Structures are given as C-alpha cells and as structure tokens.
Amino acid sequence: MCILVWFRLDLRLRDNPALAAAFRASKAASSTVIPIFCWSPDEEVPWSPGAASRWWFHYSLEGLSQSLSQKGSRLIIRQGKTLSVLQALIRETKATGVYWNRRYEPVVIKRDKHIKEVLRKEGIDVQSFNSHLLFEPWMIQTQAKKPFQVFTPFWKTCLSSQEPESPLSAPSTFPPVSSTIASQSIDSLHLLPTIPWDTQLKEMWAPGEVGALKQADLFLEEALEPYATDRDFPSVKGTSRLSPHLHFGEISPRFLWETLQKLLATRSRKRSIQGVERYLTELGWREFAYHLLYHFPHTTEEPLRPHFKQFPWVQNKKQLKAWQKGLTGYPLVDAGMRELWAVGWMHNRVRMITASFLVKDLLISWQEGAKWFWDTLVDADLASNTLGWQWVSGCGADAAPYFRIFNPSLQAERFDANANYSRCWIPELSTPAYPSPIVNHGEVRIRALTALQTISKKGDIQ
C-alpha cells in the first residue's frame, strides 16, 4: 500500500503541502510514499511549456531527483496521458491515494477535475492542496462577493485577510521506492534543445530547489534594501530573479512571505522597510494575476475589456521579426529582446517597454507578444504573462490606459542613461552596423491613438 505524490509545478521538498499530507496519511495507515512526475505537455495545449520552460524543467527535475535520492527515495517519471499513467501506477503499486498541489491554468483545472472524479469513483483517496499561492483565488472577494478587477483594493483585502499558513519543513527521510517500479530517465523526455542555444542560460541560472534558496539568500542579502529604487534600472542587479523559481514551485511564496514579514518586524531604517514592502507588493501582483486567470480564464486568448476585440491590429511579419530579433533601431527595446533570447529572461521595466513598442508603435496584437514571451521566457507563467500583456495593451483589469504609450528613447534616457544595459546586449551599438529605427515614434504614436478612437466602449467592463 502507498500514496502517490504527483509533482507538477511544485518541484521542491520544503513547504510542499501535498507531500506533507501524504507523509501524515502514510504514517497513520502504515503505508509508503512514492513521488511521481508525468510529462504530458499535449494536455496543456495551447499553452504547453515553451522551449525555455522545457529547458528549465529538465534541470529542475534533475535537482528534485537528486534531493529525493539523497533522502533515500527516487522520482518515478512517466510520459503519456496523465490519467492512464496514474491508473497504471495505482495498479502497479497498489496505491490507495493520489495527492497533488493545485494548478490554476484553465485547461489544467478541467483535466484535474476529470482525473479526480474518475479516480474517486475507482475508490482512490484523491486530495489536492495549495502550494503555489498565498491566497486561493476564490478566497478573496469584493464586498459584493465578486472577483476583483483592480489591484489596490484586491491587495488591501489580501493584507487584511487571515495570514498565510507557515511554511512546512521538508521530510528528513523518505521510505525507499521499490526497484521493480519502472521509471523513464529525464533525458528520455527530450526537454533540452537539439541545437545548443542554451549556453548563456546555463551560465545565468541554477534551476532547482537548491538554486532557488541560494538565489533568495542572495537577493535578501544584496538587493532587498535598495529594491524599491534599484528595481527600475536594468543595468543594476536590483531585482530578485526569483520568478522562474516561483513559477516552477522550487520555492514557495509562503516561505518568502514569512521571511519578509520577519524582516519587516526587525528593520528600522526607512530604506530597508521600503524594499521589503515593495517586494511584498510584487508578490501581491503575482497573486492578482492568478486571481484574474482563475475568474476570467478566457483572457489567455481574448481581452478582458470586450471592446478591444474590435481593435484594428496590423499584421506585419517583417516588423514582428525585427522586434523578436532585437533589430528595431531602438536600443532599449533591442537590448531587452536580445537579453530575452540569450538568457530566457528580461528586466521587468524593459518587458513593459518592449511590449508597449510591439502593441503601440508597431500596432501588432498583444497575443503575438504573449506567444513569443511564452516560448522564450524561463519564467513563462500563464497568469503573469497574460496580466502583463493585457496591462500594457490597456485591455485587461486595472490596465494602463491604451493612450499611455512608452517613448522608448525617453525611457532609455531615464533608466539607461549611460547605455550600460544597451551596450551589454548590443555590441554594434553606435556603429553603422546597428539599424536605423524601423518606425518614427512620434508618427506611430498618433497612429495608435487614432486606432483607439475606432473602437467602441459599449458593453465594456465596469
């Protein structure tokens, strides 16, 4: 007898509610715990993991597998239709339960509900838990018992709600997993690229729980105090760089919350407090993104504000390609897009600037940008990606008005005044090899505002 713990986007041992619950149940029933992972990307179409996410998955799974091995267990890896894989493992192991931590992507919710229904009808104890968020999306409501669409009141409600539970310790030891239970190798999943474009990703990132905790320590020691100001300057290491670790569940938001709350209680200097509070707010935006994804699942494909469906987007493959390759002639835009291609990540302010350039200077739809980011970001998160693109485009909840158009040249003067960031990613900057701007910002700004006037707000959200 055993309980299967199905790992997904929770690739850690510390503060893993499903894992902890499985250990409690196994002790009560004198059974064992078997960690499993099922690779079934086709079940997540149209948002199955992109190339950069697959790369991260490979190394994160390696880290999880090593951690389990050090504690006397091993990770059972299978590939195929999830329900069939789970049913096969239940037969092989005589499992009485399957535990997992919840996910919130629309197609995954639908799949998981179906799996839960089928397995429960077959007499299996199926339980799911929250490991990914501070607050479940259905916990936070307006006074009218509706979902929020504005961040500030949403986050105020979160902060006035019951404190998130304290993070759980990792099990000290695991029961051994029988060698008769077959497992695929991580290499057999073919997650790594066949053409080695990932050299700089390897240099920059350390996927896995160990890497996540090291990055958290580095951020807390070096970048947290000046975070409120330094986070806007891409040439400075002023951000946490924890987003991919949070997305893959290698570190929990509850761990960060508790750590930051302790710092807030002990710090007295204004700058220190501002850094902590600002980062807590960023965790709040992550919560808000999942709140919106859960309550408005159609927003992965369509604008939340219905009248934006009428927007006269332009299809221009040449300009889209120039944007993707970082060849627009606007240094801060190009530097961001080249950083993205090289290391699978981009500074948050630069993400806003590059996104604004695509949807407002080039008038290319936000969906095109969302797809590109999804494939190239190591922190490609459906909730955050959707929120970010709809925010910049002015078509989502609490979004920047469409008429707020970033001027890439002025943004560069303000946040990359010495061009240190731009020169880092554009070696040919200030030489004849660097292209001239593909559009005139002043002219296309007028074009964008004119396009905005063509759509009606009738029937829009309130």
Residue 346 Cα to chain centre, angstroms: 13
Which tokens go with 307?
Answer: 């009248």
Q: Is the dihedral of CA 324, 107, 393, 275 positive or negative?
A: negative
Cβ contact 14:170 at 8 Å = yes
At 237, list the tokens: 């290491």
Give every CB contact of residue 1 below 8 A, 6+ residues apart in sequence. 29, 30, 31, 32, 94, 95, 96
CA distance 55 to 195: 12
**Apex 120 CA angle, 114 and 126, nearest 5:** 90
Rounded Cα–Cα distance for residues 125 and 97 (Å): 4
The residues annotated as belonging to the active site are 282, 285, 313, 348, 366, 389
**Contact criterion met (CB below 8 Å) for 135 and 161:** yes
- Beta bridge pairs of residue 7: 37
Half-sphere exposure (CA, 13 Å, Cβ side) for 4?
Answer: 28
Burial zone of 304 (CB within 10 Å; 0-12 exposed, 13-18 middle, 19+ buried)? buried
